[in-house]
Chain A
Amino acid sequence: MNAKGNDLPSASDIALSRRAFLKSSGGLVVAFNLFGPAVAADTAQESVAPPPAGNLYAWLAVHPDNTATLFTGKVETGTGVQTALAQIAAEELDFPFDRLAVVMGTTSKTVDQGPTYGSMTIRYAGPQIRHAAAAGRQALLDLAAKHFGVPASQLTAKDGAVSMLRSASRTITYGKLVDGKRLNIDIGASGERFAMKLAPKAHLKDPSTYTVVGRPIARKDIPDKIMARFVYVQDVRVEGMLHGRVVRPYGVEATLQSVDETGLKKIPGFVQVVRRDNFLGVVAENEWAAIQAAAKLGSTLNPSGPDAGQAKWSNWNGLPQMDQIWETVRHSGGRDSSAVSHGSTATALAHASRTLKATYKTPFQMHGSIGPSCAIADVKGGRATFWSGTQMPHETRRDMAKLLDIPLDGIEVRWFEASGAYGRNGLEHVVADAAIMSQAVGRPVRVQWMRWDEHGWEPKEPPIVQDLQAALDDSGHVIAWQHHMWIPTTADTHLTAAALIGRPEATGHIGSAGVPIKYAYNFENADVAAHDEGRVGLLTAWLRSPAQFETTFAMESFIDELAAAARQDPLAFRLAHLDDDRAISVLKAAAQAYGWQSRPAHANADPSGKHAHGRGMAWVNRDETRVATIADVIVDPSSGRINVGRVVVAHDCGLVINPDGLKNQIEGNVIQSISRTLHEEVTFDTAHVTSRDWQGYPILRFEEIPDRIDIVLVNNSPEHMSTGGGEPSTCPTAAVISNAVFDAIGVRLRQMPFRPERVKAAMS
């Protein structure tokens, strides 16, 4: 233990945070109090480097009033991981959950544990935090051993205090033991980010003794969100801050010809136009002035052309034709990779007595956050501070160093939660917008995108086309399976602002998804491969279960087509072709909870009925989490409208940290994926996205939600490692609905979304 005294750099701020969270109901976490506007103005002299991963103080602080703070480079995006990670830490630390605050994301206070994405937080950051907290518990026992003058083996820790095993009345709190000092203790760290291993020697609790992990504890963030006390990134205000708005090109790659500033000065509060190459923005003393000025330059919901506003753009029309998009995708360059290739699928297909063939198509979709992206930047000289809701604060810090040519040591990203993002939306991009504007005006600038900036410019999920073929033998067994997919990138991390200032390669790259599917059927001959492409048309980046939502739609609908062709029950048909025990158990659990009766699809159909009822099932293995979903639908044949009735989800992500938090996530995944299945398609002309608001891009509304969502947790026990829950239950939904619609009306829907007009067209 370092005895240099209370050297935690921001001890007073932590105290502030602690008071605030203890005052509010339920032991809330108020990371923002660490960096409120009052302290935001001048941090120029402090080091902004992240703390060293191998030191305990990088993860934990214990305060004199016996509260504590967990520090994590992971961030909350509405999924409840803040609470779950706090449960893991409180459990191993033997500390009261309600007295443990969590500071997330801020780059000067936390270690880079990798971005918060891919349902990987509990799986990878969970063990890191578990080990750090266990090391913390050991450190406290060592301190107490000194205090009591006995070996640590004669001590026991519970609820934030250490007592002597033999005389329980001799007890001391963690707060008293630490006495306001920083936990400057080497715990050992190796590797980085997701692969980082911490405190390898820490003694971990026996999971069978868990009292905090596994409980449906109320989420830390919810009361403040309900009581209007929560500070979202959209709520942060910084001393001396101006308001900025972007004015994006009319056509995606149009160049800026001229800017007529007439009338802007008359807008009260207008400060200036920021123009750098094709980057255009305005800054003003107040939001309304910024909005008015941006509107004059052309930032409106439906601009009528490249020279409709006072900013004139070249007439760029380089996007593919929307109705040709899948042909474009099919013929775009890329790299082939194979997930499975065994037997000789081509031969089997050529000689089988019975073959089936189908093509599945899915459109561009968007994240569609309810709160548009927002960030504040303060760029001055060799330093830059950002207030951001990014899912990757440490990456953003590195990106901004490159974009601004400022040494990393001068850059801090202070993280605040944003409106849910469900992947990479505009939150990373708006940081760059704010950076460029702040650099131009020499003051902090808050940029919030308008609705049409978000709909128009957030990175999208790409359109995907998939061809499937299979052969059945005479007994209805699948003897060959071919699944080929054409997938534009889901990981293009180039920043739009960088491209607009003429430095497109300053940051980011185009990542490859490989074959985004987990093939698990045991067909004799199988060929599953992807053609993995670069950008096709619009900027695309990961959206909840990137590409696997779409590949599951194709795989699990086509399996259903085969089962129907073989006149077999869809559950029995799947089980007959599966070896994966955990897949089998979620399918059976879902079927049992649903009350599944064995029969082939569309065997009960009553074509005379006004409303046709159907049931459908599908399952997925996404990064080792298995999910099986069954749902009922009602199809109104006269309107083509589909309604989802009851939904049953069996979910196996191993040991669940917080069952209610997970259920909240599963419900969210189900509803969001019903929305994607029934409604969602980004529209565009050859210049730009034309679905620029919620009318153009409708999402599911209350009157369309399912009647109920029943959830069964499978393998929720310590012998099963915790895997992710943020995304996987999105994957089965489109196939479930497509299969249920077939069951109801005997029509296959192979193109998303299943809007009424498409259903009617398929019926006729």
Chain B
Amino acid sequence: MSQQITLNVNGDGHVVQVEPDSMLLYALRDNLGLRGPKFGCGLSECGACTVLRDGKAIRSCITPVSAVGTSRIITLEGLGTAEHPHPLQQAFIEEQAAQCGYCINGMIMQAASLLKQNPHPSRDDIKKALNGNLCRCGTHMRIVRAVERAAGRANG
């Protein structure tokens, strides 16, 4: 049966009416109208659906809504604003790090999670952190450069 469940998304509480065992991705996209997290595979294989849960990257396509509890979810929309883009967003724009851009939500959210744990990643650290995220357009070189640029900026 569908239930009313409260989710903490991008700093606000939202009540959604969903099946508790349905996946968080659909609540974010269809109930809350968010566009950052994307459906790519639904199998935890590509990373397009990545969001932050209490600061750590998770795959919303395989995370049941019932498992979210009171944890704080941040999506690409909640990472920065038009006036104050997140350093990663700024760096991705400066590096022109997108082709179709469909994977980029996952790249930025995964990188945000990395920079929280490791503010000074090496190039290999970045590649390792993003290794589970797929990009079919082949934007990898620019994505790596953008994360390096953001890390440099975040590090001062």
> Chain B residues near A705 (CB, 8 Å)?
127, 140-141, 144
- Interface: B57 (CB within 8 A): no
Query: Of B76, B126, B137, which one neighbours A228 at CB under 8 angstroms?
Result: B76
In Å, the complex CA distance between A655 and B3 comes to 59
B42 interface contact, C-beta 8 A: yes
Complex CA–CA separation, A237 to B34 (angstroms): 11
A contacts with B, residue count (CB < 8 A): 66
Taking a contact as CB atoms under 8 Å apart, the answer to whether A448 and B138 are in contact is: no
**Minimum Cβ distance to chain A for residue B109 (Å):** 10
CA distance A80 to B85 in the complex (A): 23
List the A residue with the shortest CB-CB distance to B34. Answer: A228
CB neighbours of A369 from chain B (8 A): 102, 136
Contact pattern, B 23-57, Cβ under 8 Å of A = 1, otherwise 0? 10010011001111011111101101000000000
**How far apart are the CA atoms of A419 and B46 in the complex, in Å?**
13
Which of A78, A223, A268 makes the CB contact (< 8 A) with B100?
A78
Cβ contact within 8 Å between B82 and A25: yes
A596 within 8 A of partner (CB): no
Name the contact of A227 in the complex, choosing from B23, B89, B131 (C-beta under 8 A). B89
- In the complex, are the beta carbons of A218 and B2 less than 8 A apart? no
Q: Which of A132-152 contact B (CB under 8 A)?
A: none
A391 to chain B, nearest CB (A): 12
When A268-B1, A667-B141 are in contact, do A219 and B127 touch as well, CB less than 8 Å?
no
A106 to chain B, nearest CB (A): 19
CA–CA, A450 and B45, complex, Å: 13
Distance of B64 from chain A, by nearest CB (Å): 11
Task: Verify if A371 is at the interface (C-beta below 8 Å from B).
Answer: yes
B98 close to A (CB within 8 Å): yes
Instruction: Report chain B residues within 8 Å CB of A26.
Output: 93
Cα separation A372 to B102 with both chains bound (whole Å) = 10
Instruction: Give the dominant DSSP class at B's interface.
Output: loop
- A641 CB, min distance to chain B CBs, angstroms: 15
Tell me, yes or no, whether A210 is within 8 Å of chain B by CB: no
Chain A residue at minimum C-beta to C-beta distance from B35: A235
Measured CB to CB, the closest approach of chain A to B33, in angstroms, equals 8
Q: Which chain A residue shows the least CB distance to B132?
A: A701
Given the contacts A668-B99, A693-B41, A268 and B2 also touching, CB distance less than 8 Å: yes
A694/B26 in contact, CB under 8 A: no
The docked-state distance in angstroms from the alpha carbon of A225 to that of B108 is: 11
Q: Could you tell me if A78 and B127 are in contact, using CB atoms closer than 8 angstroms?
A: no
CA gap between A726 and B135 in the complex, in Å: 17
Give the residues in chain B near A702, CB-CB below 8 Å: 126-128, 130-131, 133, 140, 143-144
Complex alpha-carbon distance, A353 and B39, angstroms = 60
B-facing mask of A689-706, CB < 8 A → 1, else 0? 000011100011111011
Q: Complex formed: what's the CA distance from A703 to B124 in Å?
A: 8
Q: Does A451 contact B (CB under 8 A)?
A: yes
- Are B140 and A78 interface neighbours, CB within 8 A? no
Residue B30 contacts which of A229, A287, A419, A695 (CB distance < 8 angstroms)?
A287
Contact code string A203-240 (vs B, CB < 8 Å = 1, else 0): 00000000000000011011101111111101101000
Q: Are B96 and A218 in contact (CB under 8 A)?
A: yes
| A228, B48: Cα distance in complex, Å | 13
Instruction: Please determine whether B141 and A370 come into contact, CB atoms closer than 8 angstroms.
Output: no
In the bound complex, residues from chain B placing their C-beta under 8 Å from that of A672 are: 136-138
Interface residues of A in 638-687 (CB under 8 A from B): 660, 664-665, 667-672, 675
A228-B34, A371-B48 known; 10 new pairs, CB 8 Å cut-off, are: A24-B82, A78-B99, A225-B101, A226-B97, A268-B19, A287-B26, A369-B136, A370-B103, A699-B134, A708-B141
Residues of chain A at the chain B interface (Cβ within 8 Å) = 24-26, 77-80, 218-219, 221-223, 225-232, 234-235, 237, 268-269, 286-288, 291, 301, 367-372, 417-420, 422, 448, 450-451, 660, 664-665, 667-672, 675, 693-695, 699-703, 705-706, 708-709
Q: Can you name 12 A-B residue pairings with CB atoms under 8 Å? A: A222-B93, A222-B97, A226-B93, A227-B80, A232-B102, A286-B18, A287-B30, A448-B39, A667-B138, A671-B139, A694-B43, A694-B46
Q: Which 4 A-B pairs have the closest CB atoms?
A: A78-B100, A671-B138, A225-B101, A420-B100
